[in-house]
Amino acid sequence: MKPLALFSALVLLMACQPSGDDVKAGERPASYGLGHTPTAAEIAAIDIDVNPSGVGLPAGQGTAATGAVVFAQKCAACHGPKGEGIEKNPKLVGREPAAGAVFAADFKQTKTIGNYWPYATTLYDYIHRTMPLSSPNSLTPDETYGLVAFLLTENGVIPPSTTIDAKSLPAVKMPAQKQFVRDNRTGGATFK
């Protein structure tokens, strides 16, 4: 091929190619190159969840005794001095009714930590992220561990002397855990 013809062919070939990195309709690049890699500190600042294995639990500890003090100061105004609930603010303490079927039969039966919460780690996760309602996400790890210990003790789940920390909390078995089952609805003709 003569140099001029080669040059012309190259120009023609290039004209048929997408310019730069643009992609044809319906095609996508491997990455759009947006966003930045968050630093470990940036992730740690918002990665607050705690799971049933205990992942996410911080250092610190508490007992029913230390928790009782925090509860009286920061929780009792809404939930009652013994976690008995005030008006719409939920009752937290009580093992009765224990049988799961009563909840389906009667909506006036109260679900408490002792009769309905399936995982003890959820207490830490929820109290720390959500309570108190007026200043959520403000409790220290020690305050939160104390409240968890106090509430588990009041519900008769742990002995009063138990120290609750990152090691002991995931080991606490909740009375209601066995009643939870996964969704079995799949659509179709049968109502479940």
Query: Cα separations (Å) of 125 from 24, 30, 129, 160, 187?
Result: 46, 37, 6, 21, 33
- Beta carbons within 8 Å of 20's beta carbon, 6+ residues apart: none
> Given the rule CB under 8 A, which of 9-17, 93-101, 144-152, 157-165 is the region that contacts other proteins?
93-101
Q: Decide if residue 117 touches other proteins (CB under 8 A).
A: yes
State the number of binding residues for other proteins (CB under 8 A). Answer: 57
Footprint on residues 5-44 left by other proteins (CB under 8 A): 28, 30-32, 34-38, 42-43
Beta carbon nearer to other proteins, 45 or 65: 45
Cβ atoms < 10 Å from Cβ of 170: 17
Minimum gap (Å) between residue 178 Cβ and other proteins: 9
β-pair partners for 119: 173
Structure tokens at 153: 């003790």
> Given the rule CB under 8 A, which of 58-66, 68-76, 100-108, 151-159 is the region that contacts other proteins?
100-108
Beta carbon nearer to other proteins, 130 or 161: 130
Beta carbon nearer to other proteins, 93 or 176: 176
Distance CA 105, CA 27 (A): 55
Nearest partner of 54 among 119, 114, 116, judged by Cα? 119
Q: Contact at 8 Å (CB) between 163 and 63?
A: yes
Question: Which chain residues interact with other proteins by CB under 8 A?
Answer: 28, 30-32, 34-38, 42-43, 46-49, 51-53, 99-109, 111, 116-119, 121-122, 125-126, 129-130, 133, 136-137, 176, 179-189, 191-192
